[in-house]
Amino acid sequence: MSTSIKSVMALEILDSRGNPTVRAGVELEDGSWGWANAPSGASTGVHEAHELRDGDPARYRGKGVLQAVEHVRGPLAKAVIGLPARDFQQVDRAMIEADGTENKKRLGANGILAVSLASARAAAASAGAPLWRWLWPQKKKLLPVPMMNILNGGAHAKNNVDIQEFMIIPRGVGSFGEGLRRCAEVYHALGAILGEKGMGSGVGDEGGFAPNLSSDEEAMDLILRAIGRAGYRPGEEIVLGLDAAASEWMKEGGIYRTPKGGRVFDREELCSYWEGLAGRYPIVSLEDGAAEDDWEGWKLLTRRLGKKLQLVGDDLFVTNLRRLERGMEEGAGNAILIKPNQIGTLSETLEAVKLAQERSWGVVMSHRSGETEDAVIGDLAVATGCGQIKAGAPCRSERVAKYNRLIEIEFSDPTRRFAP
Ligand code: PGA
Ligand code: ZN
């Protein structure tokens, strides 16, 4: 049956922060159908593909996406109708050419990504396969380890904490479901501890608790206590990861200033700060420990900590093959965060993953702080066998949707295997 694209539709829907985003639907000649929603960041990297917003203050405080929706219905639909959805690279190329800019500024990466993913889902539906298996038809299935963000700060929370994400990562578990259970238990233990201390139970954009704290150390002390209270050995059964999102901190000339606490570091001091924390706490992964354009800072960080820690480039690489290549050449980082909407198409996303995997770099599939019920990153994590996923706390349905999708995938086939 033909997987030719017959029609493309789009809607302006809402994300988990109540801001508009794009949903696209793609219908094929054989009657198969796929849909996808674009997510949206808050600590957005300057090198990301362009998220097109209307800027009309009379609607959604300027955040409407009606232009992006119109571009899907108009020029993007025109570019892809008649193409075989099964050849998703060709579909993506057609949209990239229709846009014609370096960063998808003209038609909007939000609309382009939604069509790209919806079209791939339609092709998978046509083949009678779930997206993950359609993308990766090999036998073995590798479920990712959750890097679960249970305490939120930075741009994701209205508290006084400068580090954006404090994550727990299970070790040595036999299945995705088992790792998820442990993390959820620690999350509840943390909630109970914060409750006892009268520290409130408000959560940030990714569902992690968002208390006011005296220091980054206090956050990790509380998490270690929660791990213990849940019955696990910190540092052995559960380890820690941080996302500093330090692009939000960078000021001029290699000087960092934390926006909430007002602490000031030069590059060496910042590296020493991370080194100190990694010496005192069971941290295995540090994301955006330096800012997106601070290649010097990144190289220094990698020289000093690259053997000990997974150093994940999020704003630094923005899921962009060229920036990843530069990082590899210059020795900046040793792992990449993968957010499909940073680059704007499925095929470009998979290219970045492929290069990282070929060079044995770490790969972490990731949600955005603004999300929807679309759990496509669960499929992409398994399809790429990337081994790690960030999908937030076990709280807020847009986060839980990703975990539930992974449970579904884990139990959909008896040949499952868990990432080490
Ligand atoms: P964002 O945050 O979606 O707000 O960019 C997620 C992250 O920094 O990893
Ligand atoms: Zn990040």
Q: By the 8 A CB rule, do 338 and 365 touch? A: yes
Summarize the confidence of residues 382-411 as an average pLDDT. Answer: 97
* 8 pLDDT above the threshold of 60: yes
What pLDDT is recorded for position 142? 93
Distance CA 283, CA 240 (A): 5
Distance CA 210, CA 229 (A): 20
What is the number of residues in the chain?
420
* 308 pLDDT above the threshold of 60: yes
What does the pLDDT look like over 75-120, one tens digit per residue?
999 999 999 999 999 999 999 999 999 999 999 999 999 999 999 9
Confidence of residue 411 (pLDDT cuts 50, 70, 90): confident
Write the DSSP string, 164-212: SEEEEEE-S-SSHHHHHHHHHHHHHHHHHHHHHTT----B-TTS-B---
* 197 pLDDT above the threshold of 70: yes
The continuous run of DSSP H or E covering 90 comes out as: helix 88-99
Distance from the alpha carbon of residue 29 to the mean position of ligand 2, in angstroms: 39
Give the count of beta carbons closer than 10 Å to the beta carbon of residue 415.
8
**Which is catalytic among the residues 339, 348, 390, 410?**
339
What does the pLDDT look like over 135-155, one tens digit per residue?
987 768 899 999 999 999 999
Distance from the alpha carbon of residue 115 to the mean position of ligand 2, in angstroms: 25
Whether residue 206 lies in the annotated active site: yes
Q: Ligand 1: which of 163, 164, 288, 364 to mutate, judged by most atoms within 8 Å of the beta carbon? A: 164
What does the pLDDT look like over 312-362, one tens digit per residue?
999 999 999 999 999 999 999 999 999 999 999 999 999 999 999 999 999
Q: Is the distance from the beta carbon of residue 368 to the nearest atom of ligand 1 less than 6 Å? A: yes
What pLDDT is recorded for position 420? 37
User: CA-based diameter of the chain, in Å?
Assistant: 62
* 419 pLDDT above the threshold of 50: no
Summarize the confidence of residues 280-302 as an average pLDDT. Answer: 98
Q: Which residues pair with 393 in a beta bridge?
A: none
Contacts of 387 (CB under 8 A, 6+ apart): 142, 144, 145, 362, 363, 419, 420
Q: Ligand 1: which of 206, 242, 365, 366 to mutate, judged by most atoms within 8 Å of the beta carbon? A: 366
pTM exceeding 0.95: yes
What pLDDT is recorded for position 1? 63
* 2 pLDDT above the threshold of 70: yes
Q: What is the mean pLDDT of the chain?
A: 96
Q: Amino acid identity, residue 396?
A: R
* 299 pLDDT above the threshold of 70: yes
Closest by alpha carbon to 187, among 152, 227, 158, 160? Answer: 227
What pLDDT is recorded for position 415? 52
End-to-end Cα, the chain, rounded Å: 40
What pLDDT is recorded for position 30? 98
* 398 pLDDT above the threshold of 90: yes
What pLDDT is recorded for position 154? 94
What DSSP character marks residue 49? P
What pLDDT is recorded for position 253? 84
What does the pLDDT look like over 165-175, one tens digit per residue?
999 999 999 99
Q: Is the distance from the beta carbon of residue 369 to the nearest atom of ligand 1 less than 6 Å? A: yes
Distance CA 167, CA 143 (A): 18
What pLDDT is recorded for position 413? 63
